[in-house]
Structures are given as C-alpha cells and as structure tokens.
Structure 1
Amino acid sequence: MGRNLKSGERLRPVDLARGHGLSTQAIRNYEEAGALPAADRTPHGYRTYTRLHARALDAFLALVPGHGHQAATAIMRAVNEGAVDEALRLVDEGHAQLLEDRRTLRAVENALRDLVPVRDAPASGDTFIGPLARQLGIRPATLRAWERAGLVRPRRDPLTGYRVYDGAAVRDARLTHQLRRGGYPPAQIAPLLAEVRSAGGLEPLEAALGTWRDRLSSRGRSLLAGAAGLDAYLRTDH
C-alpha cells in the first residue's frame, strides 16, 4: 500500500514507485497499459501523479494475485475508461473460473473414489489398438472416439502409422473406460485426466489433492482482497 496522501498532493514517478516497492519503469508500464489513469505532465513534460494514481495502483496490485496480471490490467483499464460494468464483468469471470475449478476438483475427488482399486498401469510394453480394445472389452472405434475427444493420446508409429499405446496411454484408456461405465461424461473425464498427467499418475494426484484445494482457497481469498481493493478505488473521487 502507498503512503497516506493529502488531497491534491503531487507525486513524482519515483515517489509513487518507492511507496509501493516498484521501479519507476513499472509505474510507466502500468500507466501505458491503462492500469493507472493517464498522468498529468509538467511544462517540461515530466509525469506527475496524485492520490488517485496511488489508489489505482493499490487496487491493481490487490487484483493481480487473484486474477493474474493480464486480467487485472483489463479490469483497471476498463475502470479508468469509465466502463465500470465491463470491469465488474471481468471480476465476475475470475470468480466464475474459480467456481469451475472447484467443480473440477470435486469431480476429480468423486471420480477417484468411484474408481476400482486399480493403480497406474505397469510399464509392460507398448500395445496396439486391437489388443487394448479386446483387453477393455470395447470396440477399436471407441478408443478412436476417446482419442478425438483428447481422453487417450496414443502416438503413431513413424513407419506404419499405427497407433501405439504406451503405459500412460493404457492408463488413460483404463481410467476413461471405468469412468464412462460409472456414468461420467467426457467433459468431466477430460480435466481429471489432465490432472493425472500433470501429477504423473494417480498416486501422486491423490497426494496432491490437498495442495490443490489449498491453492483454490488461497485464490478465493485473493479474489476477495482484490474486490476490496477495487471497491476502495471506485469510491475514490475521480
């Protein structure tokens, strides 16, 4: 947070930067991007800032942890251009994305509970679409459909063009098969598989669920702090 300012007090870029632990170049960049209102200029062309700019910078820095730099800039730019409704819509999008991420986490937790106790596929060598389909009791066309949906990712043999399923692809096919039998639609299976791949398998994913939940909670708190900072800026005389 910047220091307390008297109404009408003028600040140099270095004053505003030091008050927020930033560089003067960062202040200029934020102004040029629209995160700060345009600065007044002295007769010699030097920028001067006021309490309004300090409040704008406070709001922007409060928004960044929850929304990210790009979205926070878009929110502040909309406010500074007088498009407050657009700024609030962008804030709503951030909260909506967090809600969707929470739903994904819940779907992952539910899916893991519903899986039969079969762990990651062992590294038993590559296989092809026919043998894998027979192993799962499905048609090869089903595996091709799962591939088109991004659920299973076999590689292609460079000489024959045949699909080759390594251990990870077999694991994904088995997970997809179990979850489809459990009534999960592909739209819910896709984010689960993305998390499995990111974690490096089911066991690491299960261990990471607590960390994932904590990250979402932290982001929720950051969104609240950002909303409070934006509200304080909107209450400032512009």
Structure 2
Amino acid sequence: MRRNPQSSGHLRPVDLARAHGLSTQAVRNYEAAGILPPAARTPHGYRTYTPRHAQALRAFLALLPGHGHRTAAAIMQAVNRDAAEDALRLVDESHAQLVADRRTLQAVEAAVGDLAPLPPERGDTFVGPLARRLGVRPATLRKWERAGLVQPHRDPQTGYRVYRPADVRDVLLAAQLRRGGYLLEQIAPVLAQVRGAGGVAPLESVLRDWRARLSARSRALLTGAAALDAYLTSRLPEP
C-alpha cells in the first residue's frame, strides 16, 4: 500500500506545488529566496516540507495581490528570519501607501469637480490673462510648462504662448492640485491621464476604475493580513 506523504506530516515539493497550482521549480525558488523556511532533507538529499511550509506558501500567495511580489517576498523573508517587527512595518507601509493613494484620488476628484466649464467660444488665452485668472504670477505658468504639466502652443507670428481650451483645463486642474499640496511631479501623471482620456468627462470612468482598484487592493490587504497572521501564529512556540 502506497503511503500518503501528507498523512505523516511530510510533503514533497510536488505535493506543495500541486496544492497551490505552481510548478515544483517555483516552490524550490521560493525556498531559495527565503519566502519559505528552509526544508529538511532526506538521507538521499530530497527536500521534505511540512504543513508549516504549506501555510507559509499560502501566506505569500495571499500577500501578493495587495502588496506586490517584491514587498510580499520581503515580508515573508523577514518572518522567516524571526524579524516579525520588520515584516509588520512593511505591512504598515503598504497600508500607508493605500491611504496616500486614496487621498490622491479624492484630490483629483475634487479638482475635476471644481473645474469651471470651458467657454463655448474659441477659448484661446495668453499667459497674462490666465495667470490673473488663477491669481498666480506668469512665471509660475512658465515653471509648470517646464515641468511638463501644460504644453501651450506658440503663435507662429509673435511666438507668444497660446493656451487653448484643453490647455486651460490642464492649468486649472494643476492649480487645484497645487492648492491641495501636491508636488509638480505628482501632478504630471494625473494630467497625462486627463489628456489620455480625452478630457475631464471621459476621465470620470478612469476615476471609477481607479476607485475600484483601490477597493480591490484594500480587500486584498485584509486577506493577506489574515493569512500572514495565521502563519505568524503557527510559528509561536508551543505553550
């Protein structure tokens, strides 16, 4: 009668791999990377795993969606070297990043909501009038241009900067975000999304998708935390 390796508490790499939809090489790689604790070896040099290794693998796979591969691996490596505080700090940093991302989304939504409708006419304007409208110096608009936030056209005859309606929209959105405390390098990708979406109206669907991704990440962090807590508990010494 063939013996089930799991009944004795010992698992082969293939047992661990099949149970989690992985290749045996992936399991070995995770062990080599410190994501799994070191495996014992048989007299013939074969790896043998235990239910604790399976729990470590479940924790890592649960951490992946919320933290990403690099951070999830660093968390497991810290736990396996008995540096639980380092692991928990990494978890906290991922939650803090999620909070920051939510605040950025809220700021963008507020900025988009506060934008005044663009005039139906041609809507072209120059640095001076636009700066006065925003209550900033013309040099500020030029600085934003150098930072890539806005790309006004040039009048072919005079060389003056000409802000078309889409440019005005970008400048107004940048001004809202600057008032919210965001740096120029943080604002540039937001404006790129606005331009990529074809304006503010199509951006609403982008914002909905953004919100959905943040919610999914939040749930994933909760799932990962539960699996990590179970693994941490399994490593506690017997009372």
Same fold by TM-score, threshold 0.5 exceeded? yes
What is the alpha-carbon distance in structure 2 between the residues aligned to residue 153 and residue 70 of structure 1?
36
* Closer/same/farther in 2, CA of residues 230 and 45 from structure 1, 3 Å limit: same
Output the amino acid matched with 1:133: V
* Closer/same/farther in 2, CA of residues 193 and 45 from structure 1, 3 Å limit: same
Aligned residue pairs total 221
Output the amino acid matched with 2:34: G
Counterparts of 1:30-179 in structure 2, within 5 Å, are 30-118=30-118, 132-137=126-131, 139-147=137-145, 149=147, 151-152=149-150, 171-177=169-175, 179=176
Contact 1:149-1:186 at 8 Å conserved across structures = no
What is the alpha-carbon distance in structure 1 between the residues aligned to residue 190 and residue 205 of structure 2?
14
Identity rate of aligned residues, in percent?
61
* Closer/same/farther in 2, CA of residues 198 and 33 from structure 1, 3 Å limit: farther
Contact 1:71-1:90 at 8 Å conserved across structures = yes
Report the Cα offset of residue 104 of structure 1.
Answer: 0.9
What is the alpha-carbon distance in structure 1 between the residues aligned to residue 182 and residue 235 of structure 2?
50
Report the Cα offset of residue 92 of structure 1.
Answer: 0.4
Contact 1:136-1:174 at 8 Å conserved across structures = no
Structure with the greater alpha carbon radius of gyration = 2
Output the amino acid matched with 1:136: L
Counterparts of 1:213-224 in structure 2, within 5 Å, are 213-224=211-222
Output the amino acid matched with 1:214: A
Output the amino acid matched with 1:137: A
* Closer/same/farther in 2, CA of residues 235 and 143 from structure 1, 3 Å limit: same
What is the alpha-carbon distance in structure 2 between the residues aligned to residue 49 and residue 235 of structure 1?
18
Contact 2:65-2:217 at 8 Å conserved across structures = yes
Q: Which residue of 1 aligns with 2:207?
A: 209
Contact 1:154-1:163 at 8 Å conserved across structures = yes
Q: Which residue of 2 aligns with 1:13?
A: 13
What is the alpha-carbon distance in structure 1 between the residues aligned to residue 173 and residue 164 of structure 2?
14
Mean alpha-carbon deviation: is it higher for 195-204 or for 15-24? Answer: 195-204
Q: What is the aligned-residue RMSD (CA, Å)?
A: 3.4
Mean alpha-carbon deviation: is it higher for 52-61 or for 109-118? Answer: 109-118
* Closer/same/farther in 2, CA of residues 118 and 86 from structure 1, 3 Å limit: same
Give the 3-state SS of the residue equivalent to 2:234 in structure 1.
coil
Given the two structures, how large is their TM-score scaled by the length of structure 2? Answer: 0.78
Give the 3-state SS of the residue equivalent to 1:235 in structure 2.
helix
Report the Cα offset of residue 118 of structure 1.
Answer: 2.3
Q: Deviations over 1:13-47 (max 9, x none)?
A: 11100011111111111111111111112222221
Uncovered stretches (5+) of structure 1, i.e. residues with no partner? 156-161
Counterparts of 1:15-30 in structure 2, within 5 Å, are 15-30=15-30
What is the alpha-carbon distance in structure 1 between the residues aligned to residue 199 and residue 29 of structure 2?
42
Uncovered stretches (5+) of structure 2, i.e. residues with no partner? 1-5, 154-159
Q: Deviations over 1:38-90 (max 9, x none)?
A: 11122222211111100000100110011111110000000001100000000
Report the Cα offset of residue 152 of structure 1.
Answer: 3.2
What is the alpha-carbon distance in structure 2 between the residues aligned to residue 103 and residue 184 of structure 1?
10
What is the alpha-carbon distance in structure 1 between the residues aligned to residue 21 and residue 193 of structure 2?
36
Contact 1:104-1:192 at 8 Å conserved across structures = no
